[in-house]
Structure 1
């Protein structure tokens, strides 16, 4: 998975990758050549005193070192640019994929996990790629070159390598067997911490209202402690690895000096050659340790790549059909034909055999008890979810046979939870229609009964909006969300309990103003309050996912016991009559 991910995203940067490889080769070659020059200074310039040799070889060492520095800086620069660019591209691809998900796919992964995969997981892959450029290119060159140059210095003494390398590889293998499962567990635990943290931030008011701070702290502490324990185990194995490798390296150096001294005493080796041999031994061990460090990073990056591909390889259940055609709106009449929907993993459908027609120029209301499927039904119209049975038609056209863009461009949705984006009031109102003029914004605000508090805000239309609209009350957010839908001037308006935070007087004024704006549009309203829907041209009553009655307010009072129960629970006997 990791190799596939990297290969796909490195294609546009072949030139930069080639430059990194060449620069790393030159840098490593310079590093390998320096001990040989140093040995020459000792054996030809120091032992038989010869200042000319020292200056000559020393000068070459300075030139090579300078070239080594230039190559190292340039290689790091190009490697960093490529790695960061690949990380950016993967994040873009993840965001684009997640943006295409329906509510079903988002629910399967969970928002905290999707955030972790887009941030932490991509960062792990990005860092592994950077380390590959800076380590894995130079480590093999340094290791192989070190062995060849060590053999060139003294073949007999090189036998020590046959003892060192198997021990190092055995240590690495044992540690990696423990690390890979820990890396996989740590990523899941990061998801869990993010999930708990997100819940507590979003529900902080409820937590405080029910005095559950200590309970939630304990829940977070549990998730945090689990992650900390896994990371500690990982750190312990990694901490064990480096001392073990250094112990092997130091024992190798002692052995080289010990046996090298005997060979020098026997006249079979020179002092400079021994010095160079020790340097090459250390370079070989350094190459192994660098590879070892990289190998420790790769399993975690591989786990992250798997998690990234789980998202990228997931296709949204809501997508354009192969032969999808643009939807042509002609009034926006909505026709539900035996529509049903079942949530993934649910034992029973939440909607069954829903059939009714919402005519253009009329208001159709949907009412029912909590859990009756009202919001789910509304979400089927813009295809935030796809019906699992039956079909929905707009002006006679099956919504699953048309393009999503053409479908949604003619729909103005005001969700149950009014959400505003960080920016300004104007940028939020223009969210669905960027070219709208200020006059059109003010007109929408007047209809939505929001113009007064917007005028009183500092900057008016340019007043800052915090993320989620946290600097506005619930009623203000609802009215701004309604104004945002009005600015689009869609053929179909969907109001999902969008008047619940308004007082009765504001609700009445808003509905009266809406009639004029929506006289040529289809209006579908989900509401809990009878006063909000009593004057609707058609009211659809839902009960346990089925249509329990439909008609006008007066007709339903006579024909639907379910509707009458709802009315009697909200109005007095005199008001019902």
Structure 2
């Protein structure tokens, strides 16, 4: 967990150095992200998320092929029923002669068209409609369509399993990525933007895959199956139907190319809107105090209007695909119907086959239209995937050593040896700092805002890596230790008390997984939390809000002190731990921290100099350098930077009140 100062400091120093303090954050939120990235590459990477489910994917494909196979054969079977009915209507009107003789007679009369058509039909002169045969054919067709529906339903369920597992693993990857990201990344990213990628974008990926994956497979298989049977029925009509395919592909590609940047912009604008909402919600008290409701509403309207515009353009442009495909499909339908009718009239094609082919032509263009229509969902999903992949591809903190070092005995000796660090390349902050802290000492760090006080402990915790020099713990370079091993020996109490939704006991035991109830109560008594629990109805089992708003600031701070006490750290860091509490509560917090500091090496960052008078060593920092060090009495006698700070706080100013 990091202190608020940790995040404010780099931004402040970056700004001081003239660099783009939040440049990368703005870039990700609405700069480069608005430009379409690698759609093909991101799509393939998105599909690779499904690779762990190979067996299910094979089963899914097999079910799709079977379902489409039954569905595609259906119209051909129905064509046989049409031929039976047509033959039953024509048969009674023919003379009771063999069909060959009737055909020969028509040719002798010069009526070749009727002769060809009759020759192509399976008709028995004088015979009416065979309803039994028609019924059998219809039952077979019904059975085929039912089987197709069943297999399609199973495939849909399997698709849901595959997609949800893939998204589950994607969320796991994002969570694991957070653990490997340096604090520098979060300094440069608006909180709402990061949350939007983890929630909105991943949900959009899930919905896009769920809605398109099954239908896309069915559509592609349908196109292939229908195309095969179209060539079986009539190669000429099949070629005619294929003429419109390149036109469909061209129009879809052109429209899709224009829609993709709008989807990118839509989701990046969503991230900015979420960031603003989160910011205003978190600071709603300050917004009201300073009367900034109108400004906050105006900013919301600006982002909301931007989201409306981007969303409207994305949906409008991509929505042009479906009517365009339907128009081309209708042209194809008319062309097939006209040529097919001529083929039936010439006896080259039966009426049932023409009916089946017309159905196939619909089945052929409909999946193509569906694929084109799903382009907006696919583009939206890929746009979100690009944003999530950008998070997953962000530069990580350096890995821990394969065989991390550990001090033989942890006593708490800390050394800074010629340490230099800067947040921005051209803005030095700490230069050649050398410091030795003996075990059990309490070191107070004071100085003006921006002097580098919090940065010093951030480097000790390896929230940031030093540019040069060396920091050791009991003689072991902390860069050779694992971060987890280093931080497990360190306890922090921060200016803003961070509590989570849970009981008071759970919050105290946050850093000590195996803590017993007795240990929790012991820590609470040592840090004056026990009294708070005794006056609450549910005691230690009182459930706190997510931010602990049902307790006072001082009570929340005491709980964080108890948490650090229970963890029994070797090194203690107190970062402005009493700056947000009243004077009476400050006394309680100070007493709790005094108990906590016993026998531990402690670093205390404070603006209230009254809280660090008893420190063994006081470091005065200015511009990243230690300008003075010593105990309280020595530094006051030196009449330097510390004395000036102290007198500013405690010396009675001479004022005129006339």
Per mean C-alpha deviation after superposition, the further-off stretch among 15-24 and 113-122 is 113-122
Q: Measured at CA, do residues 572 and 195 of structure 1 come closer, stay the same or move farther in structure 2, by a change above 3 Å?
A: same
Q: Aligned-residue CA RMSD in angstroms?
A: 2.1
Q: Measured at CA, do residues 327 and 320 of structure 1 come closer, stay the same or move farther in structure 2, by a change above 3 Å?
A: farther
Q: What is residue 11 of structure 2 aligned with on the other side?
A: none
Aligned to 2:512, which of 433, 438, 441? 433
Q: What is residue 157 of structure 2 aligned with on the other side?
A: 77
Are 2:290 and 1:250 aligned? Answer: no
Aligned to 2:60, which of 20, 24, 35? 20
Shift of 1:401: 0.8
Q: What is residue 386 of structure 1 aligned with on the other side?
A: 465
Q: Helix, strand or coil: the match of 1:47?
A: helix
Pick the structure with greater CA Rg: 2
Shift of 1:329: 4.5
How many Å separate the matches in 2 of 1:213 and 1:133?
A: 44
Shift of 1:159: 4.0
Are 2:513 and 1:447 aligned? Answer: no
Q: Measured at CA, do residues 571 and 246 of structure 1 come closer, stay the same or move farther in structure 2, by a change above 3 Å?
A: same
How many Å separate the matches in 2 of 1:377 and 1:4?
A: 44
Are 2:297 and 1:217 aligned? Answer: yes
Q: Helix, strand or coil: the match of 2:574?
A: strand
* Gap runs ≥5 in structure 2: 1-40, 89-128, 654-658
Q: What is residue 126 of structure 2 aligned with on the other side?
A: none
How many Å separate the matches in 2 of 1:572 and 1:372?
A: 23
How many Å separate the matches in 2 of 1:265 and 1:468?
A: 81
Q: Measured at CA, do residues 516 and 424 of structure 1 come closer, stay the same or move farther in structure 2, by a change above 3 Å?
A: closer
Check the 8 A contact 2:322/2:372 in 1, yes or no: no
Shift of 1:528: 0.8
Q: What is residue 531 of structure 1 aligned with on the other side?
A: 610
Q: Measured at CA, do residues 381 and 229 of structure 1 come closer, stay the same or move farther in structure 2, by a change above 3 Å?
A: same
Over residues 222-269 of structure 1, what are the superposed CA-to-partner deviations in whole Å (9 max), with x where a residue is unaligned? 111111101101111122221121122223223333333333333333
Q: Helix, strand or coil: the match of 1:156?
A: helix
Aligned to 1:310, which of 385, 390, 393? 390
Aligned to 1:421, which of 496, 500, 523? 500
Q: What is residue 84 of structure 2 aligned with on the other side?
A: 44
Shift of 1:318: 4.8
Residue correspondence of structure 1 range 416-495 to structure 2 within 5 A: 416-495=495-574
Q: What is residue 70 of structure 2 aligned with on the other side?
A: 30
Q: Helix, strand or coil: the match of 2:643?
A: helix
Shift of 1:497: 0.4
* Gap runs ≥5 in structure 1: none
Q: What is residue 251 of structure 2 aligned with on the other side?
A: 171
Aligned to 1:321, which of 398, 401, 417? 401
Aligned to 1:57, which of 121, 137, 141? 137
Shift of 1:214: 0.6
Check the 8 A contact 1:196/1:220 in 2, yes or no: yes
TM-score scaled to structure 1, two decimals? 0.94
Q: Measured at CA, do residues 327 and 111 of structure 1 come closer, stay the same or move farther in structure 2, by a change above 3 Å?
A: farther
Shift of 1:327: 4.3
Q: Measured at CA, do residues 286 and 329 of structure 1 come closer, stay the same or move farther in structure 2, by a change above 3 Å?
A: farther
How many Å separate the matches in 2 of 1:325 and 1:315?
A: 25
Check the 8 A contact 1:423/1:464 in 2, yes or no: yes
Residue correspondence of structure 1 range 152-551 to structure 2 within 5 A: 152-343=232-423, 345=424, 347-551=426-630
Q: Measured at CA, do residues 116 and 73 of structure 1 come closer, stay the same or move farther in structure 2, by a change above 3 Å?
A: same
How many Å separate the matches in 1 of 2:281 and 2:45?
A: 34
Check the 8 A contact 2:440/2:600 in 1, yes or no: yes
Aligned length in residues: 573
Q: Measured at CA, do residues 329 and 380 of structure 1 come closer, stay the same or move farther in structure 2, by a change above 3 Å?
A: farther
How many Å separate the matches in 2 of 1:96 and 1:477?
A: 29
How many Å separate the matches in 2 of 1:375 and 1:254?
A: 76
How many Å separate the matches in 1 of 2:309 and 2:639?
A: 60
Q: Measured at CA, do residues 484 and 318 of structure 1 come closer, stay the same or move farther in structure 2, by a change above 3 Å?
A: farther
TM-score scaled to structure 2, two decimals? 0.83
Q: Measured at CA, do residues 4 and 494 of structure 1 come closer, stay the same or move farther in structure 2, by a change above 3 Å?
A: farther
Are 2:166 and 1:86 aligned? Answer: yes
Check the 8 A contact 1:91/1:119 in 2, yes or no: no
How many Å separate the matches in 1 of 2:368 and 2:592?
A: 76
Shift of 1:85: 0.5
